[in-house]
Chain A
Amino acid sequence: MSRREVAQRHGEVAPGPDEPVPSPGAVEQTTVTSTPASTPALPPKPSRVTATLAAVATGAVVLAATAGLNISWTELGDVPGRVVEYLLLMFADPNWEKLPRALFETWRSISMAWLGAIGCVVVSIPLGMLAASGMGPAWLRVGLRAIFAVIRAVPEVIIALVLLTVTGLTPFTGALALGIAGIGTQSKWVYEAVESAPTGATEAVRAAGGSTAEIARWAIWPAVAPVLMSFALYRCEINIRTSAVLGLVGAGGIGSMLSNYTNYREWDTVGMLLIVVVVITMVFDLISGSIRRRIMEGARVRDVDRTR
């Protein structure tokens, strides 16, 4: 028994002459509650009702979704076999006869991606700068950001489908769709880069009597240009991947060719096309990735700590 307990018990036990001696049970009780080894009173258990209800609801949604799709579970066992069958059809002996044409279509896809990326970047940089806080007026900032959010919500394919009715089945439609669809994300990157740029040079240009345009050109732009270049290359990477998808809806390029040969069920040619798409995309990612890394690492800003 620890010294503290002894003292406590002693204090409890020592009664005044007139007071009744406490019963041994009461003494025992006080001792027990003060012993560290005994079970302390638990705080009320937090309610798990909300979490349980959420889990049940999620389960119900999953079940309803599964039931609604009329999946024939008995055929599920055949799926891996059929996948292997088609993979063999495509890749066992790819048909390289159409390779020149595939490369030409790839070139068109890449052109589409490049043009789309350039258009997107050229539009996004000024719009994104205007949407950065501290650059344009508040109403313009709110309006632009709303437009970017709407564009981000619409997939490239939908934009291409809408544009097809206007400009027809051409790679230019693809480039235009890629350009427009990228503006939402690209501009967001721009204004986030501008807002996270070091503020020192901005303050200096403002202190020298510079206007907002001058701040943008001589304080913000030098600070964010490498990041924006990197984003532009990244946009190009994304577009090269997306351009294949746009081909599926008829915008031309390797995607259209892929779509056609899938419809003709010429699996050996499809296999060759898939190899071309994957290799070209990976090569572009590698090149662009290494350039971007170079830009970013050369662009590390040493910011000096300012104490106000």
Chain B
Amino acid sequence: MTIQSTTGGAAAETAAPWALSLTDVSVTYPNGTRALKNVSVHIEPGEIVSIVGLSGSGKSTLIRTINGLVPVTSGWVTAGGHDVTRARGRALRELRGHVGMIFQGFNLADRVSVLDNVLVGRFAHTPTIRTVLGLNRAADRELALRALDSVGMLEKVWTRAGALSGGQKQRVAIARALSQEPSVMLADEPVASLDPPTAHAVMNDLARTSSERGLTVLINIHLMDLARQYTQRMIGLRDGELVYDGPAAEATDADFEQIYGRPIQGRDRLGSV
């Protein structure tokens, strides 16, 4: 199989980025935890936004309301003009197909090859009967391989995902999200399980591939230096409430102290590598 050697996904077909909008969104979990309290925020197409806050501040919940993994208790969420809040069944899956997501724990199927893991990104665009039987189309395979190539993981295509290192797993997860040809990229603490040099390398890959495709990007992150370095705009959450919204590069230590509700500590920075 030949891959057109594209340096990154610049030549890859790009879907138009989506605007995201949360209006007065609250989320209360069945156990009574109020994870989000009346959050309203609008994100322009192509913006790269970090969501900053301590663990338990509602970051993961906020990011999951955008693809409907967490249903909102009240309020509205729209992505690219589509109402996520009301979407059900096939419409919701169709919508999720346009929203790539990567996770802190990588969430790959460990006993399955890298290629099969990346092909998960094509599920929303493929009939279930094909994917369940493993009959993937050449075009889908091509997209998956290109996505792998753009994160430098092409030579691992036949490796079992479980045999990869953490940084490699997260790259495969990025490739899985990119193979969706998404309009939005969500990242939930993408580098929190990685060591500092790998964290920077993965953040670079994430930022580069996303900006090449002009995606709208939302990154949950609790490290201030990564938020400043890799994102344009920063949203601060504390106890489920929006407490900061402004340019990431100019966010001062005082701003972070206000978001965290405590003085800055050493572990709030990844540190320079």
Contact = CB atoms under 8 A, between A and B. Distances in A.
A308 interface: yes
Nearest to A216: B132
Interface string A203-216: 11111111101100
A164 interface: no
B107 A204 contact: yes
A206 B186 CA distance: 14
Interface stretch (A155-163, A237-245, A284-292, A297-305): A297-305
Interface stretch (A87-95, A219-227, A258-266): A219-227
A308 B56 CA distance: 7
A82 interface: no
Given A207-B99, A208-B176, A225-B111, A306 B123 contact: no
Interface residues of B, number: 43
A210 B93 CA distance: 7
Contacts of A222: 109-112
A200 interface: yes
A159 B260 CA distance: 65
A147 to B, nearest CB: 25
Contacts of A9: none
A207 B104 contact: no
Nearest to A200: B107
Nearest to B126: A214
Contact of B112 (A214, A218, A301): A218
B173 A204 contact: yes
Nearest to A210: B123
Contact of B60 (A204, A219, A225, A308): A308
Given A201-B109, A208-B124, A299-B111, 14 more contacts: A200-B107, A203-B107, A204-B176, A205-B120, A208-B121, A208-B176, A209-B123, A209-B124, A211-B128, A222-B109, A226-B111, A302-B162, A307-B55, A307-B104
Interface of B: 55-56, 60-61, 67, 69, 93-97, 99-101, 103-112, 116, 120-121, 123-125, 128, 131-132, 162, 166, 173, 176-177, 180, 186, 189, 192-193
5 contacts: A207-B67, A209-B124, A222-B112, A304-B105, A305-B105
The 5 closest A-B pairs by CB, nearest first: A209-B124, A200-B107, A204-B107, A209-B97, A209-B96
